[in-house]
Structure 1
Amino acid sequence: MTDASTNVPPLTPVLTDNWDADRSWSLESYAGRGGYEALDVAFAMAPGEVIDLVKDAGLRGRGGAGFPTGMKWGFIPQDPDALGGDRPKYLVVNADESEPGTCKDVPLMMASPHTLVEGVILAAYAIRAHHAFIYVRGEVLHVVRRLQHAVTEAYLAGHLGADIHGSGYDLELVVHAGAGAYICGEETALLDSLEGRRGQPRLRPPFPAVAGLYASPTVINNVESIASVPAIVRNGSEWFGSLGTEKSKGFVIYSLSGHVRNPGQYEAPLGITLRELIELAGGVREGHRLKFWTPGGSSTPLLTAEHLDVPLDYESVGAAGSMLGTRALQIFDETVSVVRCVLRWTEFYQHESCGKCTPCREGTWWLVQTLTRIDEGRGEEGDVEKLLDLCDNILGRSFCALGDGATSPITSAIAYFREEFEAGMHTPSRELFPPAASTAYAQEVTA
């Protein structure tokens, strides 16, 4: 199966190309495939030229927002007379992956940590930073250890430390394990945590580009964003721009989970459709049909089977009423109660709210109470309207995007499946959607 418009195969292994190699996480394996060669290419350029290269490539942030990466790097003040221009610069990699359904950064760091390390060196050189940090979720201890080992290998090989490759450029890289809080995926809460404080979002402005880590100019990028840089430096901006769509360029990792025959990571150009990805994954489980799905994790509005052919790029998914987000494609068939699914996600957001702002702290609690009543068949007259009113009072009024993300699946689920919420006025979800079908599926998988 190919994309007839571009003749690009649906799978484009770049970040995942070496995942099947013997000891792919080792420096020996990575270097054998051209690893760290991009450093010499970049060091032959001025830092500003590396930023321009990434801008020309059209790389957009892979952490959810899709903001142009090169533009973000360009915000760092370099003029000593500019605000913050005389302070040290920092690069921080957000590896605190914890969005329900999102599972792309952890396998990337496990399979090929040196791809990330090389990307860190290139990005830090571009913004003229001499200290960089990788902030990893503390629960994934195996990932922390693998990254620390890769960083040690890079130091011993002369890829980190003083006078890297004889270029005169110095860089210190620290792998920092967080204490495990979803809110620390928000960039300013991550900075507070990195500084040793409780992870809570900061008031902006000032923005991190001017006053970030230790009140100094800071770039914060997702793992996949930084890991994409070495391939761009090696192959050029035109090569990268030839993949994807006009406004959403390049390749990304799509994480398929749920009711598909072969869940996993599928690296493909932006613009591929869910129908194509499901075909690559062997289809929805036999005897069942797609009911709803998330394009970018649980904090993005749900989509349904009518959106199977929407190109998975930032613009098209946005036009369909959702967000591409982290490209965590969770697939649910007709045996799943949308009310119960949304309730489980909302319980997560209630638990993970940092409590700093009232709309999120109180609003998520009331959302859980109302959804629980409906799920148990004890819904009251006006509960659906109450849910919509609560979401309206949270959306755009919380301190960070956690509150907004908690409302997205609820409002979209009501828009597409209002009858299920209304049925919860008198019938529990467990009766509308008996667990027998899910149990049979689990037995089928384990067999």
Structure 2
Amino acid sequence: MKKLTQWLHDNHITEIECITPDQTGIARGKIMPTDKFIAEKGIRLPESVLLQTATGDYPDDETYYNILDPADIDMRLRPDEDAVFMVPWAHEPTAQIIHDCYDSMGNAIELSPRNVLKRVLALYKEKGWQPIVAPEVEFYLTQRCTDPDLPLVPPIGRSGRAESGRQSFSIDAANEYDPIIEDIYDWSEAQNLDIDTLIHEEGVAQMEFNFRHGDPLKLADQVFVFKRTVREAALKHNISATFMAKPITNEPGSSMHIHQSLLDAKTGRNLFSNENGTMSTLFLNFIAGMQTYIPRAMPLFAPNVNSYRRYLPGEAGNSPVNIEWAEDNRTVGLRIPNSEPEARRVENRLPGSDTNPYLAMATNLACGYLGMTQGLTPRKPVSERLGTEADPDMPFNLEAALDAMEGCEELREILGPVFVDGFIATRWAEYEGFKRVISSWEREFLLSSV
């Protein structure tokens, strides 16, 4: 705590947001004065917050008590001195500090998404491997909408008009939202977030920010903080920002593509390339692991009912509906960007921007790790542009995806059985809540016709 205490003093911090990500990616925690934080050296939270759904509900009692202590005990949260960020939108000098979760004996809480990622990274470290990732995060800007029955509409830009039509890579369209974009950049810089390129994506008022490549844990922290930053910047300008996978009918979904490479931890050499520049066996094993296990890990890349609206077989302009791989081909789920051998990487184009960044990166690494340790062989790369026909191995609704994940012993072992059981339980709980709501589609087409 010595380094952290000095940083808080140097930056005149008066208030601390003590946070940890839950399974949905929501920041849970407490806010306290700096003096109290330093004196207590951490906080306590009920372990049950890690089993909350986005609606604040919990799994059924039997599942709940099989996973958690019936007494609803507290877990101990310890601040990570390398995960400290300013809160530039706060009125007083405030810091947000990401915490790790432990039990009373000092054991890592398996339900914690951050601990799941650290668990997978430890497996890589044992092998002498250093994974490198670069996430790309998409989101929509919209007008404020307080009635959930009403569709979202794009906000008014600097020109006084709302955007219409597809504006992929348009500089002028992105400049319509300069005031909020400038705040996102300024606040990201104040928090030392490694954001790089801004792109106007294909959807109406849809943006994408790319992050510089680096350590998976640090970048998961940054994406977690970045989402909060974008929402706050939108609120400042009286609009909204959403990371829902498919928030607007007939518009493209929002993804979080993950670029993945692998270095030798001692030499820094890219292990995905041979010395002569060709693809290495480890690289092919990694791809094969993704092809084998992504169909069983889809709830971690697409965790919500809405997530699967991105994958619409037969509808052009949506996300890939396959796990094929190819070089420089955006119609496949696993794209190999055109690069020099030392920068060889694979881009997983399946995760949605609604996913928990810790779990998406942990799962991406877990699938590749299983492929490398099992010596799996990938399918042949495709050479053509793929259509919109769905891969028969892929589950494209939440029910099928949860059933596939529940039966995968390899993922259960690598991610932790307690986490897998808890995660599946929260997804089922959310899904049961969704099924109780009657949609506008049902009222429109069934009300008077069946």
Normalised to the residue count of structure 2, the TM-score between the two structures is: 0.25
Instruction: Kindly indicate which of the two structures has a greater share of residues assigned to helix.
Output: 1
Instruction: Kindly indicate which of the two structures has a greater share of residues assigned to strand.
Output: 2
Normalised to the residue count of structure 1, the TM-score between the two structures is: 0.25
